[in-house]
Amino acid sequence: MRRRFARILGLCILVASATALAAPPTLKPFERGSWQGVLKGHTGRPTLVHFWGVTCGPCKVELPLLGRFAKEHPEIDVVTISADLVPNLPAATQSMLDKAGLSSTENFVFNDGFVERLRFEIDPAWQGDIPRTMLISPEGTITTIEGSAEIADLEKWSAQQLSKH
């Protein structure tokens, strides 16, 4: 009886572990203080932070290109933040990230009714236009790309970061 119980318990633990590993990634809420957390969490590493939205036409084109870039450059941390002004639909957001190959990156969704406050924490001059990409060097220097980022520019920036270290 004990042996059978141990087998069943072991099987339950195995199934639970496999389920946890296969669980889809969750979108993290981006709220007051999240920006400082992102900066601290990636200190010393080249990091690309991409602001986008489900309802943004250029974002739909750019997201798969960014997914390919992330796959080809594992040495670059990639963070996406859905910054739509309309109420976000988490399922649509996650679906777009999955299709773009970005489900394994660190992904956030604006989670504050006062989006101006969130934008101000990130960059006081930002009016909310998306897409927007911020390239953060390991030293903390931030370069902002307003509008769609050219993959060639991202490749050049990536090579510069890697040649420094």
Query: What CATH code would you report for 25-164?
Result: 3.40.30.10
- Residue predicted with more confidence, 87 or 153: 153
Residues 95 and 59 sit within 8 Å (Cβ to Cβ): no
The stretch 45-62 carries a mean pLDDT of 95
Q: Please, what is the Cα angle at 154 between 49 and 44, to 5 degrees?
A: 55
Collapsing DSSP to helix, strand or coil, 86 comes out as coil
Delimit the domains of the chain by residue range: 25-164
Chain segment 14-30, per-residue pLDDT in tens: 444 443 344 445 899 99
Residues 130 and 151 sit within 8 Å (Cβ to Cβ): no
Q: Does 108 have pLDDT greater than 70?
A: yes
Residue with tokens 């040649």: 163
Name the strand (E) or helix (H) holding 58: helix 57-72
Distant-in-sequence, close-in-space partners of 33: CB < 8 Å, separation ≥ 6: 121
Q: Classify 44 in phi/psi space as left (phi over 0), alpha (psi -120 to 50) or beta.
A: left
Cβ atoms < 10 Å from Cβ of 85: 12
Length of the chain (residues): 165
